[in-house]
Amino acid sequence: MMMAATLLSFLLPLAGAIVLGFSGGRLGPRASAAIGVGSVGLAALATAWALLTFSGDSQGFTLWTWVSVGEFQPTMGVVVDRLSLVMMSIITGVGFLIHLFAVWYMVGEAGITRFYAWMNLFVFSMLVLVLADNLLLLFLGWEGVGLCSYGLIGYYYQNEANGRAAFKAFIVTRTGDVFLALGLFLIFVELGTLDIGLVLEQAPRVWAEGSVTANLAALLVLGGALGKSAQVPLHTWLPDAMAGPTPVSALIHAATMVTAGVYLIARLNGLFLLAPDVMWLVGIIGALSLLLAAFAALAQTDIKRVLAYSTMSQIGYMFLALGVGAFDAAIFHLMTHAFFKALLFLSAGAVIISCHHEQDLSRLGGLWRKLPVAYAGFLAGGASLVALPLVTAGFFSKDEILWQAMASGHYGLFAAGLTGAVLTGLYTVRLILGIFHGQPRSDHARHPRPGTSPLRHHLPLAILAVLSTFVGAWLYPGLEVVFPPPPDDATNAGHTLFQFLATGAVLAGLALAGWLFLARRRWLDAKVGRGLGARLWILFNRAWGFDALFDRTLVRPWQALVRVLRFDFINLGMNLPAVIARLCNAGLVRSQDGQLRTYAKVMVFGATVILVGLVMTQGGGA
């Protein structure tokens, strides 16, 4: 029963994608929307059914053997345990709400069928990724989501910049995928299998803790995760990926695809536990991305870019949790983040559409009366993002992460997380104030058209808002059965005190933000306008110059190499016979001067030579 439900949950979006993909323009916008949203909706129902019939133990089901070459026999199989059910619920549930909102958002756009086809294909790939029982099938889903991300970022392909952004996303994540593929090779060579369960069983037997191969394998898998999850240094694609439609940003680049890296590391927890140094690296990268992105978010002018850096920062929290061994906390934060980030993106989408595609912060303002639903969404989501104490789901998950970090003894990581929390408060307040308060700074902001459709506009926002509150935290099943124990296992002694501390930090951050952006606005603007403040602002705006760095060290040399290789010297060698033939031709053509006398002279000359030769050699006896 449960297996059937699980299979339906990913086969339905696949069917939707195939129908839409092969419809060849015969389906109108309404029909495409119906199929696209309907398939994901049915998939959500199937997931709910699977949840209800879940027995509590993990179950596996093999569809067929994919490849059979000697010892290499990966199957097309699914495994359902609590972790995959949580992920499935997020993907189909939040996915369905986003699809519903997309009907309102994308009204009037060209190529709707293509949009829903890609979205359905994406849902299918992501479900394959989380349900796969072996790493090869997981890799299939991994690549599938990368492809769909490319297709959706470049959705407005008529503008060349969007195409380039899609390229950038694809290439940067591809770089990570190469590492992941190498990791898979290594795992197969060493452990003889790609089945996840077997890998986790065999790894401790074959590899000693901290051995070189274990470290290498974990490092390679981490490389793949970094690309997909947009962590330092493979993060440069995420802000540019905001060129796609906002529902795409909500689904792919906030709730699901970018969390695939977190899921991968969580799933392969046994592998990472064998490589403590790599775990430490995971934590460091998480902290680094967390801070880097938070600073960058402070200085962005585009709404969606602020949210993109915010996503990167929150995923940094998840990586931090993974790094200290708190896998459960990481997945918890993944779930709450999916709720409130999707809510934020959808609300941003509401603002953007209402203001005629205006995305620049410096041109918005004063919208809180005219766009009440979007305002409410931003408040709910933003509160969860800054982890407002006790009422929001974000508080519980972020607090759990920070608590585990401290319990594990990594005080540096803990401090980074705490600083990040303060900064989160800063940029979120800046964002909300910039959009909704103050005076409207452009015509678009003065005359917005709010969304009114209750089903497509209000309902998704309302449901996500409810989930962003503590209700969302309640919904989370503990995943202790799936994961090895986190650093803080038994003692909860200092936890309540700790929660006060965290609360204090968050409130301090909010107060600071309020003071800076409300009371001392002009002073702040003056500080940023010149001198050190201006330079810092530019540094943050450009996200610490990673783009420029990669451009100089990787892109330009590559292009120079391509230019050099255009000159094909082997081709020159192959042209040599042709050149020689042409030279000989030019020479021989000179002898054809059209004069009869010349020809006669040459013939006589030839005859003479032969004759003289005969005379010499045969001595006249002829």
Partner 1 sequence: MTGIPMEHGLILAVILFSLGLAGLMLRRSMLFVLMSLEVMLNAAALAFVVGSTAWNQPEGQAMFLLVITLAAAEASVGLALMIQLYQRFRSLELHEVSRMRG
Partner 2 sequence: MELGFYLSGLVAVLATVGLISGSSPVHAVVYLIVSLIAVALVFFALGAPFAGALEIIVYAGAIMVLFVFVVMMLNLRPEAKRDPLWLRPGYWLGPSLLALVLLVALVALISDGQAGMTIDGELITARDIGLTLFGPWLIVVELAAILLLAALVTASHVGRRNKPRGNRNRGGTR
Report if residue 597 touches partner 1, rule: CB under 8 A.
yes
Round the CA-based radius of gyration of the chain to a whole number and report it. 32
| Comparison of 500 and 605: residue with beta carbon closer to partner 2 | 605
Report if residue 601 touches partner 1, rule: CB under 8 A.
yes
Least Å distance, CB 572 to partner 1, is: 29
| Comparison of 548 and 600: residue with beta carbon closer to partner 2 | 600
Report if residue 614 touches partner 1, rule: CB under 8 A.
no
Least Å distance, CB 590 to partner 2, is: 17
C-alpha–C-alpha distance, residues 238 and 230, integer Å: 6
Least Å distance, CB 613 to partner 1, is: 18
Q: Which long-range contacts (CB under 8 A, 24 or more apart) does 491-498 make?
A: 495/403, 498/399, 498/402, 498/403, 498/406
C-alpha–C-alpha distance, residues 209 and 204, integer Å: 7
Contact 468, 343 (CB under 8 A): yes
Enumerate binding residues for partner 2 (CB under 8 A): 601, 604-605, 607-608, 611-612, 614-615, 619-622
Burial of 296 (0-12, 13-18, 19+ CB in 10 A): buried
Length of the chain: 622
Given candidates 564, 576, 596, 616, which one binds partner 1 under the rule CB under 8 A?
Answer: 596
Buried-exposed string 217-249: b where 16+ CB fall within 10 A, e elsewhere? bbbbbbbbbbbbbbbbebbbbbbbbbbbbbbbb
Given candidates 471, 508, 526, 604, which one binds partner 1 under the rule CB under 8 A?
Answer: 604
| Comparison of 572 and 615: residue with beta carbon closer to partner 2 | 615
C-alpha–C-alpha distance, residues 66 and 27, integer Å: 34
Least Å distance, CB 614 to partner 2, is: 7
**Residue 26 binds which of partner 2, partner 1, none (CB < 5-8 A, kind-dependent):** none
| Comparison of 604 and 614: residue with beta carbon closer to partner 1 | 604
Report if residue 449 touches partner 1, rule: CB under 8 A.
no
| Comparison of 55 and 592: residue with beta carbon closer to partner 2 | 592
Report if residue 595 touches partner 1, rule: CB under 8 A.
yes
Residue 533 has a CB neighbour count (10 Å cut-off) of: 14
DSSP class of residue 241 equals G
Least Å distance, CB 608 to partner 2, is: 5
Total residues contacting partner 1 by CB under 8 A comes to: 10
Contact 134, 196 (CB under 8 A): yes
C-alpha–C-alpha distance, residues 612 and 550, integer Å: 79
Least Cα distance to 300 among 362, 235, 229, 381 occurs for 362
613: three-class secondary structure by DSSP? helix
**Residue 592 binds which of partner 2, partner 1, none (CB < 5-8 A, kind-dependent):** partner 1
**Residue 553 binds which of partner 1, partner 2, none (CB < 5-8 A, kind-dependent):** none
Report if residue 620 touches partner 1, rule: CB under 8 A.
no
| Comparison of 520 and 601: residue with beta carbon closer to partner 1 | 601
60: three-class secondary structure by DSSP? strand
DSSP class of residue 476 equals P
Least Å distance, CB 579 to partner 1, is: 20
Least Å distance, CB 615 to partner 1, is: 13
**Residue 594 binds which of partner 2, partner 1, none (CB < 5-8 A, kind-dependent):** partner 1
Which parts of 563-592 interact with partner 1 (CB under 8 A)?
A: 589, 592
Least Å distance, CB 622 to partner 2, is: 7
Does 233 sit behind a cis peptide bond, omega within 30 degrees of 0 on the bond before it?
Answer: yes
**Residue 619 binds which of partner 2, partner 1, none (CB < 5-8 A, kind-dependent):** partner 2
Report if residue 622 touches partner 1, rule: CB under 8 A.
no
**Residue 611 binds which of partner 2, partner 1, none (CB < 5-8 A, kind-dependent):** partner 2
Least Å distance, CB 590 to partner 1, is: 9
Given candidates 26, 439, 593, 617, which one binds partner 1 under the rule CB under 8 A?
Answer: 593
CA 51 to chain centre: 27
Residue found by looking up tokens 């929307």 in the block = 33
C-alpha–C-alpha distance, residues 203 and 195, integer Å: 12
**Residue 189 binds which of partner 2, partner 1, none (CB < 5-8 A, kind-dependent):** none
Binding residues for partner 1, rule: CB under 8 A, are 589, 592-597, 600-601, 604
